[in-house]
Amino acid sequence: MKDGFIKVAAVTPKVRVADPAGNKQAIIEKIEEAERERAVAVVFPELCITGYTCGDLFLMDPLLNQAKEALLDIAAETNGKNMLVFVGLPIAWKGRLYNVAAVLGNGTVLGLVPKTCIPNYNEFYEGRYFTPGMKEAEEVELTEELKVPMGSRLLFCADSIPELKIAVEICEDVWTPAPPSISHALAGANVIVNLSASDEITGKDRYRKNLIEGQSARLICGYVYASAGDGESTQDVVYSGHNMIAENGNLLAEAERFLNQSVYGEIDIQRLAGQRRRMSTFIGQTGGYREIPFHLKKEKTELTRFVDPAPFVPGQAAEREKRCEEILLIQSMGLKKRLEHTGCSHGVIGISGGLDSTLALLVTVRAFDLLGLKRTGIHAVTMPGFGTTDRTYDNAVNLIRRLGADFREVDIKEAVRVHFRDIAHEEHQHDVTYENGQARERTQILMDIANKENGMVIGTGDMSELALGWATYNGDHMSMYGVNASVPKTLVRHLVQYYADTCGDAELKKILLDVLDTPVSPELLPPKDGRISQKTEDIVGPYELHDFFLYHMLRSGFGPGKIYRLAEYAFKGKYSGEIILKWLKVFVRRFFSQQFKRSCLPDGPKVGTVAVSPRGDLRMPSDASSVLWLSEIESLESSYVR
């Protein structure tokens, strides 16, 4: 539960139809297993105490009476266990029979949630037995000593974790046009559990999976779905135990069907709370709900869920290719519109032979092709300086010519030397003035060529560089339209790779692959033995770490402590804790101190859920203090022991 993670379980015991005593033992065994796994919310299938397929046996007193006895015994088993348990059974009340989820914890029954939507179509005929559940809670007498609330509008709230609120719906409820989980979520529930008995027919598993993922996304919640499996009667239908755990549209765990497989996962309720806070259209409606408190001991939750070390890059090749094509189209369509609006038929772009300028040129070529403009209207300028190597120079020249753009070369060395003399700077003094003087000279050249050609300067800087402030103010920081402004460095590489793989031009592919193989560098310091001497990641740190930090800070609103924990888990075996902390501190310092550069960025198209445009996603004051964030990192450093 540390950092907002709670471990949950969706469990399918092997039931015996109409045998509550036998099913009680099977359920207790699964509860003990879940306790060993340290799950704090354990969800069983619909009517699991009796079995879902009892038919007319549901109308017989012996079954109902023994089911209630089994419920009380199972509840007693939760005493001393740090968990909330959800089991299903039929409950008779006021002359009606209800299909109920019983919520158990601290050795007792905390509440009963009846099924709201009773299916009575196709193979389902629950309407023969069960009455739709009431919304407002009523006090139900389970024994002379025990009265518990029953109603669909119950929220189960952990006393030690105020942000954790759990609500229940049952099977068919989530398949309806207006599932109860909608009002549950608006009332504050951030974890929905579903006790289900969904039978298998061909293709239904895909629909069911999409349904659960979609509901968790729509409601910005965790969703735990436990379904009936092997052991139910197969008189007419078969049950597969298709258990799932989802969080905000992402499937965290899924059981292999037909095995009665338990699944476990950690739901990040802190992340869910952050997403809801920032979504202004998620408007709570708390009326009519009753909160039922329960006790949980707050413990650290060991992570078993997948934490993506590259959150901006899809892991599956097919999805990655689709994403790359989509981003290239968004970038090129954004530039196309700007060129159309300004009546501009000329683009000016500086080409260094590095990744960012390569991607920007590829995007510009696409935009010109979409407009039906000649590629010779793209004035691609290479501007060798003191740090330019033969490799990057050759790649720049070959790329421009292969793409059919207008090639121009302006050697900046002499102009920069004149500038150094004008400002009394010694050329051998390789400091920030030495580096930035070159960057600003290049930008001046591009801007003036744009004036001469009545063209537009296309910016090349990517989002990772903007987040770190790794750009020369009014140098490469400035352009007339920045096509890469919301593309992180880890994704730039994949976009260029995708273009290389799909361009159908062997020579162009060869050039692009060599660009990909070249170390990232601004090339502002003289090379050593003809090789790049200034590698960006040696100075500011690995971009894969910075992109990870950036994603979790801006997308989820996490603090350094949680980001560090996730990074240590995601990059285990690649980066030590000390290294992660070192670069996390660099990231925070630079992110805060360099906001003034982002506050005056040129326009550029948003391509993903994270962006740093001052007109879009990031409205951050340029003078915000980083003390709060850095103090948390320093606390981690002081307590770090290996």
Domain ranges of the chain: 2-282, 317-639
Residue 279: CB atoms within 10 Å: 10
Residues 6+ apart with CB under 8 A from 634: none
309: which DSSP letter?
A: S
β-sheet with 147-150: strand ranges across? 138-141, 147-150, 108-114, 96-105, 84-93, 41-43, 5-10, 263-268
* Residue 319 to residue 489: CA distance in whole angstroms: 18
Single out the catalytic residue among 117, 171, 221, 324: 171
Q: 322 versus 2: which is more confidently predicted?
A: 322
Q: 637 versus 232: which is more confidently predicted?
A: 232
Q: Are 103 and 109 in contact (CB under 8 A)?
A: yes
* Residue 512 to residue 496: CA distance in whole angstroms: 7
What integer pLDDT is reported at residue 642 of this predicted model?
A: 46
Q: Are 330 and 378 in contact (CB under 8 A)?
A: no
Q: Which CATH number describes the domain made up of 2-282?
A: 3.60.110.10
* Residue 189 to residue 183: CA distance in whole angstroms: 9
Output the average pLDDT for the chain.
Answer: 95
**Tens-place pLDDT, residues 99-152:** 999 999 999 999 999 999 999 999 898 999 999 999 999 999 999 999 999 999
What integer pLDDT is reported at residue 529 of this predicted model?
A: 77
Looking at the predicted structure, is the pLDDT value of residue 1 above 90? no
* Residue 602 to residue 478: CA distance in whole angstroms: 7
* Residue 529 to residue 523: CA distance in whole angstroms: 14
Is position 344 annotated as part of the catalytic site? no
What integer pLDDT is reported at residue 536 of this predicted model?
A: 85
Q: Are 74 and 87 in contact (CB under 8 A)?
A: yes
DSSP count for the chain of H helices, then E strands:
19, 20
* Residue 396 to residue 382: CA distance in whole angstroms: 7
DSSP assignments along 343-398, one per residue: T---EEEE--SSHHHHHHHHHHHHHHHHHT--GGGEEEEE---TT--HHHHHHHHH
Looking at the predicted structure, is the pLDDT value of residue 641 above 70? no
Single out the catalytic residue among 7, 30, 81, 115: 115
* Residue 106 to residue 121: CA distance in whole angstroms: 39
* Residue 383 to residue 404: CA distance in whole angstroms: 18
Record the tokens describing residue 412, joined without a space. Answer: 């900046």
Looking at the predicted structure, is the pLDDT value of residue 532 above 80? no
Mean pLDDT of 59-87: 97
Is position 115 annotated as part of the catalytic site? yes
* Residue 470 to residue 460: CA distance in whole angstroms: 12
288 forms beta bridges with none
Residues 6+ apart with CB under 8 A from 473: 436, 597
> Percent of the chain, pLDDT > 90?
92
451 forms beta bridges with none
What integer pLDDT is reported at residue 513 of this predicted model?
A: 97
* Residue 352 to residue 520: CA distance in whole angstroms: 11
What integer pLDDT is reported at residue 640 of this predicted model?
A: 63
Mean pLDDT of 571-591: 97
Looking at the predicted structure, is the pLDDT value of residue 530 above 80? no
Looking at the predicted structure, is the pLDDT value of residue 212 above 70? yes
Looking at the predicted structure, is the pLDDT value of residue 214 above 50? yes
Domain topology for 317-639: Rossmann fold (3.40.50)
Q: Are 379 and 349 in contact (CB under 8 A)?
A: yes
Single out the catalytic residue among 24, 35, 46, 54: 46
Q: Are 164 and 189 in contact (CB under 8 A)?
A: no
Is position 46 annotated as part of the catalytic site? yes
* Residue 226 to residue 305: CA distance in whole angstroms: 18
SS3 161: coil
